[in-house]
Amino acid sequence: MSVISRRLLLGGSVGLPLVAIQTHRADAAPVFRYRLGTNLAPTHPLNVTLSKAIGQIKARTDGRMQIMLFPNSALGSDTNMLSQIRTGAVQFFTLSGLILSTLVPEAALSGVGYAFKNYDQVWAAMDGKVGAYIRSRIATHGLTAFEAIFDNGFRQVTTSDRPILNPADFDGLKIRVPFAALWTSLFKDFGAVPTSINFDEVYSALQTHLADAQENPLAIIETSKFYQVQKCCSLTNHMWDGFWFLANPTAFEKLPAKIRGIVEEEINHAAMAERESVAALNASLQGKLAAQGMKFNNTDSQAFRDVLIKAGFYTEWKTHFGPQAWSLLEGAVGKLG
Ligand code: X2X
């Protein structure tokens, strides 16, 4: 406004300077204001590291690339946001590969039950052939996934009353799972009764006993305060999960190449920092959560894996993913089933 007023004033006429204003405007470097949605609490390392990256991006682009972060599903639930990023209503979104599998079936590959045994296997696969394969599949469905996946972590089961000591303890348990066929299938095969609920409704679902259990890594159990509404935590490590940083391709391609490069660099850098923070939290939070009242127990993963084998879980999902995807996964983690 002040530029216009000054020019109008200097031009001394109302009609003439209009062209000058337009030229001036066309010459000015455009500013891009994009929105980024995440489902997690602001204190989770995902949001902490993304906030830092956003600051870096703004500084490195002289204020031209302004990303606004909306944590806590403030722009919508995960399934809703998946629609929004496809239409471009939101430009950036972090999403679990498993939930993404409602659109890109192959994206669930990283979530096969008891596939990854440790983080070394996870990062070798996700920064290697498995991740590259999944990203290429995501691209064919009209979304862009950045190279470095963010860590969610190895998932643990929490319950409102009984602990899960053995697979039989799952019998009839009403457990909340995110929207993904693989999650439902896994817990059905354990004998539980899974209910699909978006993350933004999990706390209240547990509070009202719509579900009596949920499963998430310790960093989420802490930052989303599930310890307030759950009593037991069984260290099952039944699945590794990560968040793809997704971009709407049209919005992303609209950015000048230099800005695109800076965004990619800073976001991928944030993912590496986030992985370290999450791993440190997941390794150290047990004591804190125990002090907040949670009762922990370890489990024998082979006993749970055996139940899945017997139930035909691996056979079913091998068929679902197909031989190419399955052999990539087995190449990273060894023979499954
Ligand atoms: O919904 C969940 O449980 C969460 C936060 O772990 C995911 O985004 C998959």
Say if residues 73 and 81 touch (Cβ distance below 8 Å). yes
- Could you report how far apart the first and last alpha carbons of the chain are, in Å? 67
Sequence-ordered alpha helix ranges (H) in 235-300: 249-254, 257-291
What pLDDT does residue 11 have?
A: 38
- Tell me the residue length of the chain: 337
Q: What is the mean pLDDT of residues 39-54?
A: 98
Distance 279 CA to ligand 1 centre (A): 16
Q: What is the mean pLDDT of residues 290-313?
A: 98
Secondary structure of residue 317 in the 3-state scheme: helix
Distance 253 CA to ligand 1 centre (A): 28
> Are 2-152+241-287 and 156-239+292-333 equal in CATH topology?
yes
What pLDDT does residue 27 have?
A: 66
Q: What is the mean pLDDT of residues 212-233?
A: 98
Which residue CA neighbors atom 8 of ligand 1 most closely? 96
Which residue CA neighbors atom 9 of ligand 1 most closely? 96
What pLDDT does residue 174 have?
A: 98
What six digits make up the tokens of 316? 């079913």
Least confident of 12-21, 98-107, 277-286: 12-21
CATH number corresponding to 2-152+241-287? 3.40.190.170
Query: For a pLDDT cut of 90, what percent of the chain falls above it?
Result: 90
Q: What is the mean pLDDT of residues 86-95?
A: 98
Is residue 2 predicted with pLDDT exceeding 90?
Answer: no
What pLDDT does residue 225 have?
A: 98
Which residue CA neighbors atom 7 of ligand 1 most closely? 96
User: Is 178's C-beta closer than 6 angstroms to any atom of ligand 1?
Assistant: yes
Q: What is the mean pLDDT of residues 146-167?
A: 97
Q: pTM for the full model?
A: 0.92
Structure confidence at residue 15 as a pLDDT band (50, 70, 90) = very low
Q: What is the pLDDT of residues 100-118, one digit of tens each?
A: 999 999 999 999 999 999 9
**What residue segments make up the domains of the chain, in order of their start?**
2-152+241-287, 156-239+292-333
- The region, left, alpha or beta by phi > 0 then psi within -120 to 50, assigned to residue 237 is left
Q: How far from chain centre, in Å, is Cα 161?
A: 28
For residue 324, what are the CA distances in angstroms to 13, 109, 134? 70, 11, 12
**Short-list 126, 94, 92, CA closest to 109:** 126
Structure confidence at residue 337 as a pLDDT band (50, 70, 90) = confident
Helices 119-126, 323-333: crossing angle, 10 deg rounding: 140
Distance 177 CA to ligand 1 centre (A): 8
Is residue 17 predicted with pLDDT exceeding 70?
Answer: no
**Which of 79 and 25 is assigned the larger pLDDT?**
79
Pick the CATH number of 156-239+292-333 from 3.30.930.10, 3.40.190.170, 1.10.4160.10, 3.40.50.200: 3.40.190.170
Of 81, 186, 196, 220, the residue with max ligand 1 atoms within 8 A of its CB, to mutate for a pocket test, comes to 220
Pairing between strand 240-247 and 144-145? antiparallel
Of 47, 81, 152, 176, the residue with max ligand 1 atoms within 8 A of its CB, to mutate for a pocket test, comes to 152
Distance in angstroms (rounded) separating the CA atoms of residues 215 and 115: 17
Distance in angstroms (rounded) separating the CA atoms of residues 104 and 123: 21
User: Is 216's C-beta closer than 6 angstroms to any atom of ligand 1?
Assistant: yes
Please give the order of strands across the beta sheet that includes 232-235: 193-196, 174-177, 213-216, 156-159, 232-235, 295-298
Structure confidence at residue 68 as a pLDDT band (50, 70, 90) = very high
Structure confidence at residue 25 as a pLDDT band (50, 70, 90) = low
Distance 144 CA to ligand 1 centre (A): 20
* Torsions phi, psi for 149 (to 5 deg): -75, 140
